[in-house]
Structure 1
């Protein structure tokens, strides 16, 4: 199974104030439509600031949510957020979440230590 959960506070630049310079909203919406994956996606303004929330659970790996984080970083380099991914078919990380961190236009990948290792932190081992 492939599971992902993430959020992004979308800002045009690290210096952005009330939103100057303006966000490229058309390009951001197009990227969300193309790359959000097949799960839940919510892009909306909250108290005058643009936010993205996404999550899903699929039978196969879907790298579009991580690509979306990179694209938002390119379009709006002041954005920041986190994306947690678990792919149980990834032989290197099948028992852990990977965290994609978006900050100042760059996405970096990190090992999770809050929810991982999944067995035993979240689930019991299967009896075989």
Structure 2
């Protein structure tokens, strides 16, 4: 099982100014990228209060689809001022099957971490199997 929940604030740069003339073009490119992912789950890009945000979530039998990690890597490449988190539980990931992992996007870099508030998955989130 692969469960994931995440968000991204899309920004061209990490500068704290409100003027970002390329941002609409970046958002248009991201809309095309997201449309090609063809996800049956939550995958939404919208403007709120003058800023673009991506929200995503889902659960699939295997981690191969949709490739949400690739989306974070793509955003890091084309909009390095973006930031966000992706929480994932993948019971097929070697050495991490009992952890909730966090993908962190900040300043054009994507890194992986263990989410200590939800790990170990068993017994923190689910009871041990007793059958």
Deviation (angstroms), 1:30: 1.7
Q: TM-score, normalised by structure 1?
A: 0.92
Change (3 A) 1:40 1:93: same
Residues 29-66 of structure 1 deviation map (CA, whole Å, 9 limit, x = unaligned): 12222347431111101100000100000011136101
Output the CA distance in 1 between the equivalents of 2:86 and 2:17. Answer: 25
Change (3 A) 1:36 1:110: farther
Q: How many residues align?
A: 128
Instruction: Determine the structure 2 residue equivalent to 1:39.
Output: 41
Query: Is the contact made by 1:36 and 1:64 (CA closer than 8 Å) also made in structure 2?
Result: no
Instruction: Determine the structure 2 residue equivalent to 1:9.
Output: 9
Change (3 A) 1:79 1:96: same
Query: Is the contact made by 2:45 and 2:52 (CA closer than 8 Å) also made in structure 1?
Result: yes
Tell me, what secondary structure is at the counterpart of 1:6? strand
Change (3 A) 1:18 1:36: farther
**5+ long unaligned stretches in structure 2:** none
Instruction: Determine the structure 1 residue equivalent to 2:59.
Output: 57
Deviates more, 1:86-95 or 1:12-21: 12-21
Task: Choose which of 80, 83, 97 in structure 2 pairs with 1:80.
Answer: 83
Output the CA distance in 2 between the equivalents of 1:50 and 1:19. Answer: 13
Tell me, what secondary structure is at the counterpart of 1:18? coil
Instruction: Determine the structure 2 residue equivalent to 1:110.
Output: 113
Runs of 4+, deviation exceeding 4 Å = none
Query: Is the contact made by 1:12 and 1:19 (CA closer than 8 Å) also made in structure 2?
Result: no
CA RMSD of aligned residues (A): 1.6
Change (3 A) 1:81 1:66: same
